[in-house]
Amino acid sequence: MKNSSALLGAALAVLLTGTLTSRVQAQDMQKKPGTFASLAVWVAPASSRPDPGAVRIPAPSADAGVSREQPARFLFTDAASQRTRIQMARHHYRIRTYQGPNGLRPKHRRRKRPFRWYENARVRSMMRFYLFKRRDLLEEGFRRSGRYLVMIRRIFKQERIPAVLAYVAMVESNFDPRAVSPVKALGLWQFTATTGRKFGLRLRHPWYDERQDPIASTYAAARFLGYLYDKYGNWELSLAAYNAGEGRINKARRRARARRRSTNYWSLRLPRQTRRYVPSFLALARIMENAAKYGLNPDHREAPMNQVTLELHLSGTLQELAGRAGIPQAHMARLNPAWHGWAVSGNPEDRIIVNLPPGASSRFMLSLWDSPPAPISWRFHTVKEGESITHLAGLYGVTPEAILKMNGMIPIGMVMVGKRLLIPIPAVAIQKVTQRNQSGMKAGRGKG
């Protein structure tokens, strides 16, 4: 019986080998422009015990950018093999398809959420505004839209949201993932911190904010829009609630009912910005859907985003991970707008999204296996009288620039007493700091 199980396991491994190797080439190396692959990777500590049932998959062929002679080191898979595991020399990887953030999600609907177009004086007025008064803003958004529309429409289709709702991102941020509003809403979809967390976006201040990750925030936006439609039953009120909040819309509807007036969007008494929000969306959607008619050249659009998305437990720096992927740091920063500053969290409970260009993920994964990144410990330090950034850098074994960037500070000599600073401590420095603290405690006891 045991021999039969072993033979069955070996046969399964052989079957997986051919299937998954072809998936690597299809998803990572030969993807068409405008598509994106989503993967998730968890990196456990080196002390993890080997998985006795681990499957070892050979590296992809030489024409995929990796030598055939490379030992089995990594695995790419899709939803059909979400729980496949592979044990490597120093890290344990569990890989599954990235399905968006783990937050509030509306119930699955078999029926569609139909969209209704409106043509009225308020919509025509906003069309004239964008075409003649803010033509520069319109053309800038049109140019950026080429990068994100394919990705947004794919996610919206998956979440059963009408494709035309992709232009909400143009009203919110003009397709700029780094946009910041006066009330500190961020990203393509302008999530506030409260709403972002409600729909599962991870905010790890000061280094990481998924509201500015295009893919993660688009999943959250689709689920937020679906939640609002399921509550209000039409897109006009749903979009008004997206802009002003559910509380204001509910209050306006209660006031209208009390006065026996209509509770549809066009009749409600709403703040000025919200009264213009839906007409602005409809105007921009109409223009974008008929770009050539309104003098917008499709050739001026940016190329669609074409990347592989990995979700990892890692610590390090943006520069280091760019080097592992073999791409410039500036390119890495553009692909990963959710990262703030230079550092990536080393908290084992954190997962970060890393976006890489097609073809770079194989090199990145091999690099993780060949030379795993040293863990970084994060500590808070309360500044005492007489301490400077240079003093703290020497105390913790890091560079002054690292502390300044980590805390969003300018290079000045002294810092305010009592200020709490976040200090990144490389693993090689942790032992020295600990020994220094212990020796100081012993010296204090000796004096006593």
The whole-angstrom separation of Cα 344 and Cα 351 is 10
- Which of 119, 140, 159, 172 is catalytic? The answer is 172
Beta pairing partners, 356: 308
Told to judge if 311 belongs to the known catalytic residues of this protein, a careful annotator would answer no
Beta pairing partners, 282: none
CA distances from 335 to 152, 304, 323, 445, 448 (A): 16, 12, 14, 53, 56
* Nearest Cα residue to 286 out of 422, 171, 158: 171
Tell me the backbone φ, ψ of residue 267, rounded to 5 degrees: -105, -15
* Catalytic annotation, residues: 172
